[in-house]
Copies of this chain bind each other. A is one copy, B any other.
Amino acid sequence: MKIAIIGGGSSYTPELIEGLILRTKTLPVTEVALVDVPEGKKKLDIIHGLTTRMLEKANVPIKVTATLDRRQALEGCSYVITQIRVGLMDARAKDESIPLKYNHLGQETTGAGGFAKALRTIPVILSIARDMEELCPDAWLINFTNPSGIVTEAVLKHSSIRCIGLCNAPIGLLRGLSKYLEIDPDDLYVQYIGLNHLSWANRIFIKGRDVTDELFSNDDFLQYATYTLSGNPGSKELLSVLKAIPSYYLNYFYYERQAVEKEMESLRNGKGTRATQVIAVENELFELYARPDLNEKPPQLSQRGGALYSEAALSLVESIHNNDNKMHIVNVQNKGAIPDLPYDAVIETNCLVNSTGAHALASGNLPVGISALVKAVKTYEQLTIQAAVTGCRQTALLALLSNPLIHGADNAINILNDLLEAHRAYLPQFFGGEGA
C-alpha cells in the first residue's frame, strides 16, 4: 500500500507521518512518496529527512521517498493526498492584499482570494488527475488543497478519478462540542450541512435524542457556540435565530466588515497579511525540522493551524481501506443529498464511508435561513470551475458577480483585472495558453 503526498514539502507532512506511525495496525502502508515542485525542493529535502528520522525512531517499516517527478510517485499508489499551493506563499500574499485595495476581504479560501486560488489550482489538480487516470486509476484522491470543495468538484466533473475533499473544521467543531457537552464523542451525532467553509451544524443529537431545540434556547450553550465554537464577533442572537452553529469561516460572511477591518489594521500595523505571518511561522518550523536530532513532530506545528488535519485524512483512509462504514463529514458529490442544490455540486455533509467510497446521507432541503447564501456561493463555485477550465473571462466575471463577498460590478471588474494580471504566470488559460 503506497501513498503519494503531492506537496510533500509542506510543513504539515510530519503530522501525517505521525498519524501513519500511530496506525500501523489499521493501515499497512509500505511506502510514502513525497512529491514537490522544483521551487520547493529545499523544504522537501528537510521534510524527507525529518520524516525518515521519525519512522526510524518509531521503528516503523514504511519507506519514505522524495521526488520532483510526480508521475514516478503516482505509479502504483492506492491513495494520493494533495496539499499543494500553486504559486506558493507569494501568490497567497497577492490573494490576500489585492482585494483589500478595493475594501474587500482578502482571504485565501473565500471571496476574491479564494477565487484566484481556485483559478490557479484547478488546472494543476486536473493534470494530477490526468496522470492518475493513466498511472493509478483505482487510487483515491484525498484532497486537502483549498478551496477544497471547489477543487474536489472540479476533479469529479472533469476526470474519472474518485476524489473526496477534506477539511479539518467539522472534526474540530465536533471535538469542541463533545467537550462542552461533557459527553463521549461517540454519543454525539451532529448533522452537518453546506459547502466547504460554508457549513453549519444544524441538528445535534445526544445518544440518539434530538437536543437541538433545547440547546439553542439555552443561554450558556449559545454563549459557548457563538464565541468559542464559531469565534463570532457579534451577538448571540444570530445563532439563536439560525438554530445552527456556523463554521468559523462563516464569520467572513456574517461579519465581513469586521474581518476586512481587522485585515486592514494588520496591514497598517506592518504585520502584513496572514501570508506574512504564516511565512514567519513556517520559517521557524523548517529551521526546527532541519535539526538532525529532531525525530518527532514538534509541538510548534500545532500553532500552524490545520490541527486535526492528519486525524481527518487518515481516519478517512482507514474507513476506505478497512471498509469500516464509519460516518465522516467530507466533501462529495450531492446526488440529491441536499435536493435544492445541483445534482453534480460538491457538498460538505455527513457521509457513510466504506471501501466503495463516501456516500452522502440524504439531509433534506437546506434550512430556509441559510439557503440564499449557500445557493449563491454554489453558483459562484460552479462558475469559477467553468472559468478555470475554459479560461473564459466572461465566466470569471459572472462568478465574481455571483459571490456574496464581492460588492458592486465595478469592484468585480477591477478585482478581476488585478488578479488576472498578478497571477498571469499561473493562468495561461486566460492569456491564450492552454488551461485544464
Contacts and interface: CB of A to CB of B under 8 A. Distances in A.
A411 to B, nearest CB: 8
Contacts of A257: 407-408
A323 interface: yes
Interface in A122-179: 138
Nearest to A250: B409
Given A241-B397, A365-B343, A207 B352 contact: no
Contacts of A254: 401, 408-409
Nearest to A207: B355
A326 interface: yes
Interface residue SS majority, chain A: mixed
A320 interface: yes
Nearest to A367: B398
Interface stretch (A20-28, A291-299, A373-381): A373-381
Contact of A327 (B238, B325, B337): B325
A248 interface: no
B339 A237 contact: no
A371 interface: yes
A258 to B, nearest CB: 8
Given A208-B323, A336-B364, A360-B362, A409 B234 contact: yes
Nearest to A379: B372
Interface residues of A, number: 68
Contacts of A207: 323, 355
A238 B398 contact: no
A339 to B, nearest CB: 3
A30 interface: no
A51 interface: no
B364 A255 contact: no
Interface in A246-273: 254-258
Nearest to A354: B189
Contacts of A402: 369, 371-373
A235 interface: yes
Given A365-B343, A380-B372, A205 B356 contact: yes
A249 to B, nearest CB: 14
A350 interface: yes
Interface in A322-371: 323, 325-327, 334-339, 343, 350, 352, 354-357, 359-365, 368-369, 371
A187 interface: yes
Interface in A387-417: 394, 397-398, 401-402, 404, 407-410, 413
A235 B189 contact: no
Contact of A337 (B337, B365, B376): B337
Contact of A323 (B187, B235, B372): B187
Interface string A401-436: 110100111100100000000000000000000000
A334 B362 contact: yes
Contacts of A359: 350, 361-362
A235 to B, nearest CB: 6
Contact of A372 (B189, B361, B375, B397): B375
Contacts of A383: 368-369
A57 interface: no
Contacts of A376: 372-373, 375-376, 404
Contact of A209 (B138, B337, B375): B138
B354 A369 contact: no
A337 B325 contact: no
Contacts of A255: 408-410
A325 B325 contact: yes
Contact of A189 (B186, B234, B355): B355
8 contacts: A186-B323, A205-B356, A235-B413, A336-B336, A359-B362, A368-B382, A373-B376, A376-B404
- Nearest 10 interchain pairs by C-beta: A208-B355, A336-B339, A337-B362, A372-B376, A372-B402, A372-B379, A359-B361, A369-B398, A336-B336, A335-B364
